Amino acid sequence: MLRRAVGKSLAFVGFTIQYGCIAHCTLEYIGELVVCSGPSMEPTIINHDLVFSERLSRHFYRIEKGDIVIVKSPFDPRMNICKRVIGLEGDKVCASSPSDTFKTHTYVPKGHVWLEGDNLRNSTDSRAYGPVPYALIRGRVCLKLWPPPSFGRLSKSPTGRIIPRD
């Protein structure tokens, strides 16, 4: 009787560890569900929308201009942010706010990306903190899951702005 109980307990522990490892690998290397908050990506992603962020693209350096990415915040590494890739290394980008009279430009350095929110007037992005190291990218948002009426793929900006601004 005791042998059977110990055997079942060990089997349960083994299955728990096995499925825990599978869940960890899935979330770390394949993708995760993310609840986005804040106004910076409106109207593409509205406060509390649920999206799926796949992680394979970042491992294979497949992030492109126009992609929406989940990134570790340059200000607070415990926080993730959701922004659109506007420029890749070597690209010339406009570093000014839309309301600035004089426009300033900069080049994105090697190993970095330039990120901006779709809601340019209400977004803290690379215009505030500069180019973001590629290593801070956690994943590429490819699917909006919630709310149901807006379920589907996310690709292009609603303004069509997927290349560096001048």
Could you report the per-residue pLDDT of 48-77, keeping only the tens digit for each? 888 888 887 776 668 888 889 999 888 888
Whether the pLDDT of residue 110 is over 90: the answer is yes
Whether the pLDDT of residue 38 is over 70: the answer is yes
Contact between 89 and 110 (Cβ < 8 Å): yes
Residue 163: pLDDT band (50, 70, 90) is very low
Q: Which pLDDT belongs to residue 131?
A: 92
Contact between 109 and 69 (Cβ < 8 Å): no
Q: Which pLDDT belongs to residue 157?
A: 59
Q: Which pLDDT belongs to residue 112?
A: 92
Active site annotation includes 110: no
Determine, yes or no, domain membership for 47: yes
Cβ neighbours of residue 51 under 8 Å, at least 6 residues apart? 33, 34, 36, 45, 82, 141, 143, 144, 145, 154
Active site annotation includes 144: no
Residues 128-151 have pLDDT tens digits of 888 999 889 888 888 888 777 777
Output the domain CATH number for residue 112: 2.10.109.10
Determine, yes or no, domain membership for 54: yes
Whether the pLDDT of residue 9 is over 60: the answer is yes
H/E element, 87: strand 80-88
Q: Which domain holds residue 142?
A: 33-153
Mean pLDDT of the chain: 80
**Which residue's structure tokens are 């593409």?**
44
Determine, yes or no, domain membership for 138: yes
Residues 69-98 have pLDDT tens digits of 999 888 888 888 889 999 898 888 887 777
Give this prediction's pTM. 0.75
Our count of domains for the chain comes to: 1
From the candidates 8, 9, 53, 83, give the one annotated as an active-site residue: 83
Q: Which pLDDT belongs to residue 155?
A: 57
